[in-house]
Each structure stands twice: as C-alpha cells, then as structure tokens.
A and B are shown apart, each in its own frame.
Chain A
Amino acid sequence: MDRPKSSMDDMYVDLLSLGTIFGVGDKAEALVAGYKQELAEFSATLPASETPPKVFVYDSGEDKPFTAGRYGIPTALIEAAGGINITDDVASSWVEIGWEPVIERNPDVIVIVNYGDVTAEQKIAFIKHNAAFKDMPAVLNDRFVVLEYVEATPGPRNIAAIKRLAAAFHPQ
C-alpha cells in the first residue's frame, strides 16, 4: 500500500496525539479546529490559478541538493499556498537529488530552509552565482522565500508559513 502524500493532516494528527497523551484532548481538538478554520478562510482568499507556480525546496547541499519529496510537509505547505513542489513525484520525505532535474523542471520560486551555521543568504548566494541556474525563472526574477526550520517541519508555525508562501507565490 502506498503511503499517502503529505498533507496538513500530518500536523493535525501530531497535535491531537499529543492532546491524548497529556490528557488535554479537548484543547487539542479546539486548536486543530481553529487551524483548520483559519486555513480554510485563508484558502478562500487565494486566487484560483490554472498555472500554479512551480516551487523548489532547497534545504542544503552544493554538489547535490537536499530537498523535500512527496511525503515531506513542505509539499503540503506549498500546495496549501497554491503552488506545486517540483519534486513531489519523489517517494520520500526529505531526499538528495541531482541538480539536473531541478534545472529541467524550471522552478518559478525557490524556498530556502533556514537553520544552522550556513545562512539563508549564503544559500541564496550559492544559487544565484552558479552559472548552471542562470536561466531559471526563480533566479531571473529573484523569487526566493526563506522558511525557518520550524516552519518547514510539522508544527503550529506551519499555518503562518503557508500565508508567507502564498504571499510570495501570488505577489499582488
């Protein structure tokens, strides 16, 4: 049986489970209901687009990029914000791929995961200065979004992250 693709339910289930474990199931359910409501209201404000922007998640790696596949929560975040993860066909949560598929799939926006000592600016600089990426729409139009590590992994900050992503995907 194939694992289901990642969705915001992954994060909701975590919170509900924590609620059960600590005996605060009611609070957990209220919290999750609140998030679902907030997300539904927000999604209604998103413009319906026939061509959702193609997004590449860049965590780390210079000779090979480390990115999120279909089971990673960034895929769910990107789709909730109205985009498509270009690596959502890779059956993995987080995975190392090659640069060729990234160039071939021509992302419109690049999401940087920020953590550790290698800063987001250094990661963006690496991508901008690499001659192989010079014709990528994301580089040509300077469309980069920085997500903190806690925003790109399941947790309460995901909802705010979706809003930031949507703002970057649909600049108005």
Chain B
Amino acid sequence: MPSAIPLDIVWSVVVNHLAPGSVEVTRSAGRDNIVWEVRLPRVILGAIIGASLAVVGAALQSVTRNQLADPHLLGISSGAALGAIVVLLHTGMFLGLVTVPIFAFGGALLTTAVVVGVANLSNATNASRSVLTGVAVSFVVTSLGSPGIFLGDPRAAHTVIFWMLGGPGLAQWAQLPYPLLALAACGAYLMVNARSLNAMTLGDESATTLGIPAGRFRIMVFIACALLTGAAVAFSGIVSFVGLMIPHLVRMVVGGDYRRVLPLSGLVGAIFPVLADIAARVIVPPQDIPLGVITGLVGGVFFIVLMRRNVG
C-alpha cells in the first residue's frame, strides 16, 4: 500500500516548514520526512523536468520543421546515458551523490558539441540535415554506451537500465536550483525569440528574408535546448514522449503561435509528469514504476489517436 498520508497532515507538514511553530506537531518524523523531503521535491522536480522537456520539444519542432522532433532527437540523451553508464559501471560515485548528474550533464553537452561541430563542418545547418546529423551522432554515442555496459560488472547492469527508464525520485531540495536555473535561463532565451521561432516554421528562406540568420539561429536554439535537456535528463533519466507530445497537444488548442505555444507547453508539460508520477507510485505499491514507462505508454496511445485525426 502506498504511504497514505491524510491531506491535513500533508498541509501541516508544509506549513510547519514554511512557518515554523505556527502549527502543532502531531505526526511522526517519518511522515514529515516523506512529505517534505521526498514528495515535495519530487513533485517540483517532475514539474520542472516536464516544463523543460515540453519547451525544448516545441522549440525543436519549430527549428527543424519536423513534427517528430523531441528533446532526445539530437543525441543529447544518448550522451547523458553514456555519462551515467560510465559512473554506474566503471568509476563508481567518487563525487558522491552528484556524480551521476554531473557526468550525465557532461555527456549531454559533449554530444551536443559534437552535433553542432559536425553540422557546422559539413554545412548541414538546414532543418532536415541537422536532424540527420543529430540522429547519426546519437547512434554513434549509443553504440559507445553498449560496450560500456558489456564491459561493466554484469551484476550492476540493472542500475543503468533503471536510470535510463527515468523518474524524479532523486529529487532533493539541494539539487533543485540547477534544473530550475536551466529552465529559467533557457526558457527565457526561447521566449524572447518566440517570434523568430514562428518565422522558422515558414522555412529558412522566408526566415532569412525576415532578418533571421536561419542557420545560426538554429544552432543557438540547439545549444539552449541541449543545456535544458541535459539538466533535465541529468536528474531524472530519460523521460520519453513529454517533449514530443505536449507541444502537439498545446498546438491543437491554441494554434501555432510560439508566443503562446512556448509558455503553455511549459505549463502543461509541468502538470503531465506530476500526474504520471502519481500513477507510477500507486499502480503496484510499494513498487515505483519508472516515469518513462507511463509517459511512453500514454504518449504512444496519444500519438496513434493523433495520427487517426490527421487522416480523417
């Protein structure tokens, strides 16, 4: 059975932490810890992750003019997974708890640097070729991860799998500022350039005539998205479909103007993983289904429904 903590106790814990001494203490330290140290950071992290991934998905769908673009497209997540594999199977957590997030973030950045470098060098900065570059680099990085798993201790292989399936259970107050900062900074950058994102959906030529350096802007958006995705994946593993699905959902309701799509994607993106995380914890208690499983399942079904609508 999941730890069923009544609503009034939950509120008394929160109030007691925010305004100590104003509420009498009538519940166990265990429950206090569960609500304040586990659930609250977890919900906040889930919201930050969801908002980050949804915003990235929306932005990438614009600059790549590809409906299937999502945060994991450009090899960012494969790079993060590679970082996690190195830590979990080869180096151990020599920097303590933050070792995996640091290496995951580093892996994500490194992979993005490779994608950007290759795209620039092979003059592949237009929409479809940049996607291809990202996919190609992603394949290479993933295949580097495989010998990492193969050569690692087989008894520890499940730790990598569980990391990759994703979930905000790692959330602690001390770590929340990082993904929050990434969301604020990169989200602000994308919002400021929302009109440019609108223009990019019209095509590179049209965008250029409107004064936007299409190729360079695309690379800048890639970098911002990579930073944001890297920060998200570093803390919660690979949460699939949020970045792909939420922008489509939002566009169906408010249309294609990125000045509305971006903030709304962030908002809806924040809500969805929180709900999915609740489902993940109550379906087979006390087991904790990885978040990626729920989002993938719901996302896949949604996608099928979406395709049927487009045909009809």
Contacts and interface: CB of A to CB of B under 8 A. Distances in A.
The 9 closest A-B pairs by CB, nearest first: A63-B169, A132-B37, A98-B288, A101-B286, A116-B156, A135-B29, A63-B170, A116-B153, A117-B92
A117 B97 CA distance: 14
29 contacts: A62-B97, A62-B169, A62-B170, A63-B163, A63-B171, A64-B167, A66-B162, A87-B286, A97-B288, A98-B169, A100-B34, A101-B3, A103-B34, A104-B3, A117-B89, A117-B91, A117-B92, A117-B156, A118-B88, A122-B94, A129-B97, A131-B33, A131-B37, A131-B174, A132-B172, A135-B29, A135-B30, A135-B32, A136-B30
Chain B interface mostly: helix
A134 interface: yes
B156 A118 contact: yes
Nearest to B31: A104
Contacts of A149: 155
Contacts of A51: none
A60 B30 contact: no
A113 to B, nearest CB: 9
A132 B2 CA distance: 17
Interface string A108-133: 00000001111100100110011111
Interface residues of B, number: 45
Contacts of A122: 92-94, 96
B48 interface: no
B255 interface: no
The listed residue with most A CB atoms (<10 A of its CB), out of B31, B38, B96, is B38
Contacts, number: 122
B13 to A, nearest CB: 13
Interface residues of A, number: 36
Given A64-B162, A64-B169, A103-B38, A119 B92 contact: yes
Given A100-B3, A100-B38, A135-B30, A116 B170 contact: no
Contacts of A63: 162-163, 167-171, 236-237
Interface in A79-93: 87, 90, 92
